[in-house]
Amino acid sequence: MKRSTYFKKRSIDIHKWIDQYEKVSVWISKLQNRESNAFNLWRYCEWSGKNPNELLALKENTDKEAEYLLDRFAADKTLNLTNHARNNIVMSARSFYTHNYSDLASEAGKVQVEKIRPYRLPTKQDIQKLRNAAYNPRDRSLVSFMASTAIARGTLPHLKFSHLEKDWKNKEIVHISLPSKIIKGRGRGRYKGVRQETFLTPLAKVDMIQYLEWMEKTRNFEFKEDSVIFLRIKKPYTPLSYSELGVIAARLSEKSGVPFAWHDMRRHVQTSLEEARISYNWCRKIRGRKVKGQESPYSRPKIEQLREAFRSALPSLSIAERPTLSEEQILEKLTARFEKKRIIEDFARQRNIPVEKVEEIAKKFDLMKMKMKPMAAKLREIFLKDQTEDETITEDCQLIITEEQLEDYLKKGFRFVSVLPSEKILISNE
């Protein structure tokens, strides 16, 4: 097989290949990025002309044959691979040996990766462009979530609502606690006992609520406590994979014109925390890294101290575009709006009325501006009236439009009412 072809991912059904080797199946079951690691091992097997079982058999010899083979791969200049890709294959091969209790010598396969370009540190404006380039509320939520939490890309496919603190929708700054098994190191070796204790900014929470609301309304999908947070938006709504997250980042980068990868967001969070003069050790706790000589920061008082430290970094962390409206105000309005929509849906379901009809009534009487209890009472009062009156009040006399449409509608006799949290405009012809 030509080397120009056997490194192409599409030339192999990696899942069928995995099923042929029990030791490969067991190995990847312990990993986060299963498909990419299996593909890297397959590429190494193709280069060496050996299958996984034959690779392990090399360790039965005492002359370091397995190590020398990996050294030859690392030194092979004929391969059309970047140093980064070559190093990934080496690390996957070493992992395969390690998880099959056949550790290679520490020097085997070392690849000197020369850094050519500086690390990217996205500015607030860059992140705003990425957020605005999102194709849907899920991707918008992903951007603000990652810019807030410094959670790694490899952790996202395992992130559940159970990792968020209870009653998180009513918290200003939401605490997220991640166990060792879903962060770097998977709780093994020097990573044993490490947890990540991080937080959502108010804007990131707003975006997440909008994403959940959108999934419930347009996809009829109900999230539960044990649900993974970030899902595919097509049935069967399974968790986004590591590779799919990479595709989303590339798509956002292309549309926004901002060079970008998810790991850049960790640098944004780290820099913001440093600008707020948060201690180095606390920064590491928030980013999910081991802190030597420190007691575990998992008691409630410790978490509250971390939360207050995080709060002090909000001026640097925040990517909100409108300084005239604070994130707390946005959060308060959106949370209330979310709960009021639930009241409307429950009301419609209990009385077997179309949700759209109840929404029309809510718009007609400006019920969304009322507090929740008076709003529910007003709905009951309206629907006690006779059918004739009911038909009259459901007449459509309000519209939600974009800013670009406003001038045309004003010429038609409509009047401006208000700007909605979504930044669209409510107008009326009353």
SS3 137: helix
Per DSSP, 12 falls in state: S
Of the ranges 66-75, 362-371, 420-429, the best mean pLDDT one:
66-75
The number of beta carbons lying within 10 Å of the beta carbon of residue 341 is: 17
Say if residues 177 and 163 touch (Cβ distance below 8 Å).
Answer: yes
Expressed as residue numbers, the domain containing 389 is 327-428
| pLDDT single digits (tens) 141-165 | 999 999 999 899 989 999 999 999 9
60-69, 109-118, 398-407: segment of lowest average pLDDT: 109-118
The count of domains in the chain is 3
Pick the closest to residue 129 from 117, 145, 140 (CA basis): 140
Residues 147 and 296 in one domain: yes
Split at pLDDT 50, 70, 90, the class of 140 is very high
Say if residues 209 and 333 touch (Cβ distance below 8 Å).
Answer: no
pLDDT of 293 > 80? The answer is no
* Domain final residue, candidates 296, 317, 338: 317
In the block, tokens 């405009």 appear at 425
Pick the closest to residue 157 from 39, 266, 35 (CA basis): 35
Concatenate the DSSP letters of all residues of 280-342 into one string.
Answer: HHHHHHHHT---TT-----SHHHHHHHHHHHHHTHHHH---S-TTS-HHHHHHHHHHHHHHHH
Give the C-alpha separation, 230 to 245, whole Å: 10
Give the residue with greater pLDDT, 47 vs 299.
47
Give the C-alpha separation, 218 to 138, whole Å: 12
Give the residue with greater pLDDT, 335 vs 319.
319
Does some domain include residue 68?
A: yes
Residues 344 and 222 in one domain: no
The whole model's pTM is what?
A: 0.56
Give the C-alpha separation, 291 to 295, whole Å: 9
Residues 273 and 176 in one domain: yes
Residues 337 and 403 in one domain: yes
Pick the closest to residue 173 from 314, 285, 274 (CA basis): 314
Does some domain include residue 423?
A: yes
Split at pLDDT 50, 70, 90, the class of 1 is very low
Measured torsion, CA atoms of residues 17, 20, 22, 23, in degrees rounded to the nearest 10: -50
Question: What does the pLDDT average to over 205-211?
Answer: 94
Average confidence score pLDDT of the chain: 81
Pick the closest to residue 261 from 153, 155, 158, 159 (CA basis): 153
Does some domain include residue 306?
A: yes
Residues 367 and 386 in one domain: yes
Question: What does the pLDDT average to over 96-114?
Answer: 82
Question: What does the pLDDT average to over 29-45?
Answer: 88
Does some domain include residue 111?
A: no
Split at pLDDT 50, 70, 90, the class of 302 is confident
87-91, 173-177, 282-286: segment of lowest average pLDDT: 282-286
The reported pLDDT for the residue numbered 356 is 83
Residues 238 and 346 in one domain: no
The reported pLDDT for the residue numbered 430 is 66
| pLDDT single digits (tens) 237-261 | 999 998 899 999 999 999 999 999 9
Residues 210 and 286 in one domain: yes
Residues 201 and 341 in one domain: no
The reported pLDDT for the residue numbered 232 is 95
**Which residues partner with 418 through β-bridges?**
426
Does some domain include residue 105?
A: no
170: domain CATH number? 1.10.443.10
Residues 243 and 283 in one domain: yes
The reported pLDDT for the residue numbered 5 is 43
Give the C-alpha separation, 340 to 376, whole Å: 9
Give the C-alpha separation, 187 to 184, whole Å: 8
Does some domain include residue 219?
A: yes
Phi-psi region of 257 (alpha: psi -120 to 50; beta: other; left: phi over 0): left
Give the C-alpha separation, 135 to 249, whole Å: 12
Per DSSP, 277 falls in state: T
Long-range Cβ contact pairs of 257-264 (< 8 A, separation 24 or more): 257/129, 258/122, 258/126, 258/129, 258/130, 259/120, 260/120, 260/122, 260/126, 260/130, 261/120, 262/146, 262/152, 262/153, 263/152, 263/153, 264/119, 264/120, 264/121, 264/122
* Domain final residue, candidates 317, 337, 355: 317
Question: What does the pLDDT average to over 7-34?
Answer: 81
pLDDT of 71 > 80? The answer is yes
User: For 292, what's the count of Cα atoms within 13 Å in the CB-facing half-sphere?
Assistant: 1
Split at pLDDT 50, 70, 90, the class of 388 is very low
The reported pLDDT for the residue numbered 387 is 36
Phi-psi region of 401 (alpha: psi -120 to 50; beta: other; left: phi over 0): beta
* Domain final residue, candidates 291, 317, 343: 317
Say if residues 208 and 145 touch (Cβ distance below 8 Å).
Answer: yes
194-198, 269-273, 318-322: segment of lowest average pLDDT: 318-322
Cβ contacts of 28 within 8 Å, gap of 6 or more: 18, 34, 35, 37, 38
Give the residue with greater pLDDT, 102 vs 415.
102
Give the C-alpha separation, 267 to 122, whole Å: 8
pLDDT of 102 > 60? The answer is yes
What are residue 238's phi and psi, to 5 degrees? -85, 165
Residues 216 and 130 in one domain: yes
User: For 195, what's the count of Cα atoms within 13 Å in the CB-facing half-sphere?
Assistant: 16
Burial of 95 (0-12, 13-18, 19+ CB in 10 A): middle
The reported pLDDT for the residue numbered 321 is 59
| pLDDT single digits (tens) 327-377 | 455 555 555 666 777 778 777 777 777 888 888 877 777 777 777 777 777
Does some domain include residue 382?
A: yes
Residues 177 and 253 in one domain: yes
pLDDT of 68 > 60? The answer is yes
Residue 365 one-letter amino acid: F
Does some domain include residue 369?
A: yes
Residues 184 and 271 in one domain: yes
SS3 43: helix
Question: What does the pLDDT average to over 283-297?
Answer: 67
